[in-house]
Amino acid sequence: MKNILRTLLVGAFCILSTSQLMAQGLTLSGTVTDKSTGEPLPAVNIFIPQLSRGAVTDVDGNYAILLPAGSYALRITSVGFKRLNTEVTVQGSNVTFNIELEPDVVGLDQVVVLGFGETSRRNVTGAITSVSGSDIEFSPVNTVENAIQGRVSGVFIQQNNGKLGQGMQVRVRGSSSVSASNQPLYVIDGVPVIMDDFSISAATTNPLAQFNFNDVESIQILKDASAAAIYGSRAANGVVLITTKSGRPGRTQFNYSFQRGSSEPTGFVDMMNSKQYVNYMYQAAKNGDAFAGSTWRVGEIEWVFDTYGLGTDWRSCLEAVHGGPDGACEVDTDWQAEAFQDASMFSHDLSASGGNDATRFFVSGHFSDQDGILIKDRFQRANVRLNLDHKATDRIRLGMNITAGRSFHQRLSTDNAFSTPIQLIAQMPISPLYYPGEEETPANLNNDTYYYNGVIHKHFSKYHVTTMRSTGTSYLAYNILPSLELRSEVSADVMTGYDDQWYGPETAVGFASAGQGGYASVAWQQSVSYGTAHYLNHNLNVGRNQTLATTAGFSYQYNDYNYAFTARSGFPNNSFKRLTSGANLLSGSTTGSEYSFLSYFARSNYSLNDRYLVSLSGRVDGSSRFGADNRYGFFPAASVGWIITEESFATPILPYVAFLKLRLSHGTTGNAGIGNFAHLGLWGGTSYGGQSGITPTQIPNKGLTWETTTQSDFGFDYGFLNNRITGEVDFYVKNTEDLLLNVQIPGTSGFTTSTQNVGKLENKGWEIVVNTFNLTGEFKWNSTFNISANRNKINDLDGQVLSGGLGMNRAIEGQPLGVFYGKEFAGVDEANGNALFNIYDKEGTGGTLTGTTTSYNLATDRVLGNPNPDFIGGFGNNFSYKGFDLDVLFQFVQGIDANISGHGRWSRGNGIFEDNSVTDQLKSWTPENPKTNVPQARYIVTNGNQISSRYIVDASYVRLKNVTLSYTVPRQFLRNTGLTKVRLYGTGINLLTFTDYPGWDPEMNSDFIAGNIGLGNDFYTAPQAKTITFGIDIGF
């Protein structure tokens, strides 16, 4: 494999060295400059179709062409600049012809960043989605993924919950793996960045939360194999390339921005009040006794009410049917309201950019402080950046991008903890928040609630996570020839996390109290990636109107991870929160790991007559994660493009169809997103009775190798009506094989799973993007619409069934990843209120319904729903008039199912538990109300609260994701103020959500069980934030 690559590399060099110069009399020469800055432009193509010949400008923007006298049409093209068609006449003597080019930020000539290079949108043959930094700048959301939600076709982005800084699910064209990672590779300014999750709880955190996305110039998402293959083994889930801003020569431009705002939940669940609760449960106790032929349940519920009401009067609100006066309850606590807080946020951004011909810079500083909507949730971010480019000589350029950031995060417990705020809804409304008759101070918070009172956590615990991150990359570029550049890069990405927790003796940690004197722990983690890449970029104009851009090189990346944890208990009092004051050492441990990738890559983009495009790329990756015999993988891809509108036969349609390009690509990418040593047989350490021991932890699998995804993409880019309507359409098929599967093996082996290359799955889909300029002129109206569909299907798992989530998600053959599987709820027996389940003559799908049963075990297991969406997309409109600008973005997710576990099985559980219930349970079966789908309430009797389709609901939604109204003060008012820009704006995030979802918010996935298979589960999962901010943006 390596030999193939070396051959390829040598081959690449062989075609780099030809250049033709022919003396033909006169010289046409000049300088090409950027119209907006006056800066000379290197590497601009000046092409003369009549002669099938052209030239490329040098580093000072100069060009020269020898040619016979005559009149010529010129076509001037440069990536990032609108192409220019012009004419020149050369007669008698040499002619100097200077050219100015206009930057193109949205059109066909916009820059599209590729791995290790860039091209123009016009020449792209792969499937790449771009987002401009200006689209997301100053968006008052937590992370960059939030900011691009709804703006990118084919990318499903889901935030787990409304807690800040939490893990995100980003799926580019569906999930391509069952057990290995499904997250894309993130590359910031050429550096594949660390995406380690430093959370020590089951809920993941987002490693990109430290990144200041206001520094972003552009984001490209490489979706198909052709675009992504240059990242080989880590590209099967797509690649997100983020490029940060750089300076432009000229006067130093400062920009300061400030915004301030507040957030609230997008939704609430309608829980019962005390009176509803007491009467519902009282009836449930009577029903339970009647059903079971017992007599103790009513006494039991009275005892429960007395105990957890702390002796307050609940009998006063018993209805007449239960022998009560039908008045009000003494206590009626709205526990849900206690979960939320007034959430404010503000941010400051200051940047400066500028430079001269030799040196350009961009510097920025950022500070933001955001409260979450849940009590105690808070996220602070401070970040600085310097991007520097310097031209040392005509041939040598160098530069550095460096950023350092710190985030301070007041975290919350996972959704599965009693202490997570949303679990407060399960408390009985008859339980007072404070001890009755006591002053309402934290010390008097009721600690005798049915479940632990999570409000106590607010006052007697801390969970502070401080993360420091520095990412830097330096490059040296040497122009061996004007068209041949050698580029060397070194990079480092250092991420350090400090997790500092303390729990006072008043609190409960897990199932037990923090104990006498409280409990505190500290976890320290550091992940360091070093990388280097060395490659050649060559641009060649070959004879007859052909261009060839070639990149070839190698890279190496090494990551080192270290972890330390220690915990103590027994602190003198609540003022002591540092471990040094704790009397008992409970735990102390360290561990670490490392991995490396060694890679060789190459790509050639060939263009003939500006209309026939061919791209070949490939990468050989070696990884420490596989055994010596299977270490290397080869990931090639090819694509072709045909710009039909460049053909002479297309001339008649040009008034209608200004641009039409067909694209076809095919290639292979890989996935190595598994544990670092999954191929080895491992033993770990343990201890018993103070003596050390060792235990087998992993079965060896020496043959373990890459998971590979082969993808074909057919698409076309179009521009109608003089490019008033533009966009692209893509169809793709992705087949993944040799899945890196956590294979379930018989427990009798002593193990339950083993990572093996087993199985196949596919993703098929389409994406449509339509951009329109509806109105131009003084009142402008642009729209952008995208819609994507992806169909995921597991083709082969060797008969394996893998489960995840809350017992309902499955990976099974013939079905999409993560389908909900289990018993099908058949509704309620009208005669007696029993929950019924369906019996089929076939498991899974198909077959016929043969009857119903009250016996859960006898019901048939069926596929019940799909947590993967049918369609996703966004619809944005931008209106501008004079200085006013209104941006409205809707985002939608359709055809997605969810499992409402927390407020389902427990708060829609027919009174089996003492948990408070949702008011829709008041419609439960009674002899007077036999036609209902809510089974009869029965205290301490199971009547339909088992996992079943009863709790599978549609979670589709349409959301008003972003509304920004801004006013930019006209320049004439700024004269003599020294200001160059004043922009006032207001932004609303998630202002409206249209959904039938019966929980807080349909965009959710419970944080402690979110995974590849664990999809679409709502377990006390906090709603998203609805945020409104106002800001000012000043340039000077």
- Residues in 535-564 that interact with another protein by CB under 8 A: 536, 553-554, 556, 558
Select from 512, 580, 778, 831 the one that contacts another protein (CB under 8 A): 512
Q: Which stretch binds another protein (CB under 8 A): 68-76, 405-413, 634-642, 695-703?
A: 695-703
Q: How far apart are CA 53 and CA 858, in angstroms?
A: 79
In the DSSP assignment, the letter for residue 651 is G
693 lies in the site for another protein, by CB under 8 A:
yes
Which residues in 176-215 contact another protein (CB under 8 A)?
Answer: none
Amino acid identity for residue 645 in this structure: T
Measured distance CA(124)–CA(226) in Å, rounded: 10
Using the rule CB under 8 A, is 749 a contact of another protein?
yes
Q: Is 99 helix (H, G, I), strand (E, B) or coil?
A: strand
19 interacts with another protein by CB under 8 A: no
Maximum CA extent, the chain: 115
DSSP state of 301: H
Note whether 290 binds another protein by CB under 8 A: no
> CB atoms < 10 A from the CB of 464, how many?
15
Q: Quick one: which segment of 192-200, 328-336, 680-688, 1004-1012 binds another protein (CB under 8 A)?
A: 680-688
Q: Candidates 57-65, 275-283, 683-691, 1015-1023 — which segment interacts with another protein by CB under 8 A? A: 683-691
Binding mask 519-538 for another protein (x = CB under 8 A): ---------------x-x--
- Smallest distance from the beta carbon of 305 to another protein, in angstroms? 13
- 579's tokens: 């471990």
Task: Check residue 305 for interaction with another protein (CB under 8 A).
Answer: no
Residues 659-678 that bind another protein (CB under 8 A): 676-677
Our CB check for another protein shows the closer of 481 and 654 to be 481
Tell me, what amino acid is at 910?
N
Interface with another protein, residue 681, by CB under 8 A: yes
Lookup result for tokens 């939940």? 265
Distance CA 378, CA 341 (A): 11
**In this structure, which amino acid lies at residue 82?**
K
Q: Which is nearer to another protein, 261 or 1014 (CB)?
A: 1014
Residues numbered 429 to 468 that lie near another protein (CB under 8 A) are 448
Residue 460: its H or E element: helix 455-460
For residue 701, state whether it binds another protein (rule: CB under 8 A): yes
Binding to another protein (CB under 8 A) within 589-608 occurs at 591-596, 598, 600
For another protein, the closer of residues 17 and 393 by Cβ is: 17
Stretch that binds another protein, among 198-206, 277-285, 834-842, 941-949 (CB under 8 A): 941-949
Nearest of 99, 16, 109 to residue 64 by alpha carbon? 99
Is the distance from CB of 151 to CB of 131 less than 8 angstroms? yes
Binds another protein by CB under 8 A, chosen from 86, 294, 609, 850: 294
56, 535, 601 from 116: Cα distances, Å: 20, 8, 10
Contact with another protein (CB under 8 A) among 8, 9, 112, 339: 9
Pairing status of strand 1025-1035 against strand 26-34: unpaired
Q: How far is the CB of 809 from another protein (least distance, A)?
A: 13
586 forms part of the interface with another protein (CB under 8 A): yes
Contact flag: residue 696 with another protein (CB under 8 A): yes
692 binds another protein (CB under 8 A): yes
- The reply on whether position 7 binds another protein by CB under 8 A is no
Q: Minimum distance from CB of 440 to another protein (Å)?
A: 22
**Cα–Cα distance between 77 and 80 in angstroms, integer?**
9
CA 360 to CA 665: how far, in whole Å? 37
Q: Using DSSP, state whether 508 is helix, strand or coil.
A: strand
By DSSP bridging, strand 835-840 and strand 825-828 are antiparallel
Rg (CA), the chain: 32
Judged by CB under 8 A, which of 161, 756, 916, 1006 binds another protein? 756
Q: What mask, x for binding another protein by CB under 8 A, covers residues 718 to 747?
A: --------------------------xxxx
946 binds another protein (CB under 8 A): yes
From the CB of 565, what's the least distance to another protein, in Å? 12
Please identify, among the stretches 285-293, 523-531, 828-836, 998-1006, the one whose residues bind another protein according to the rule CB under 8 A.
285-293
Rounded CA separation 38/59 (Å): 14
Q: What minimum distance in Å lies between the beta carbon of 225 and another protein? A: 24
- Applying CB under 8 A, which of residues 684, 814, 927, 970 lies at the interface with another protein? 684
97 binds another protein (CB under 8 A): no
**What is the helix (H) or strand (E) element at residue 287, kind and residue range?**
helix 274-292
Q: Left, alpha or beta for 206 (phi > 0: left; psi -120 to 50: alpha)?
A: beta
Q: Sort 513 into a burial class: Cβ within 10 Å, 0-12 / 13-18 / 19+.
A: middle
The residue within the footprint of another protein, chosen from 640, 662, 682, 768 (CB under 8 A), is: 682
Cα gap 223→717, rounded to integer Å: 15
- # residues contacting another protein (CB under 8 A): 94
Among 748, 848, 972, 976, binds another protein (CB under 8 A): 748
Binding range to another protein, per CB under 8 A, among 31-39, 277-285, 872-880, 939-947: 939-947
CA separation for the pair 39, 149 (Å, rounded): 36
Residue 1021 tokens read as 């999962």
Q: Which of residues 852-891 bind another protein (CB under 8 A)?
A: 856-858
Closest distance to another protein from the beta carbon of 906 (Å): 7
- 1011 near another protein, judged by CB under 8 A: no
Range in contact with another protein (rule: CB under 8 A) among 225-233, 244-252, 334-342, 480-488: 480-488
d(CA 639, CA 617): 9
* 886 half-sphere exposure, CB direction, 13 A CA radius: 7
Q: How far is CA 306 from the centre of its chain?
A: 48
> Does residue 624 bind another protein (CB under 8 A)?
yes
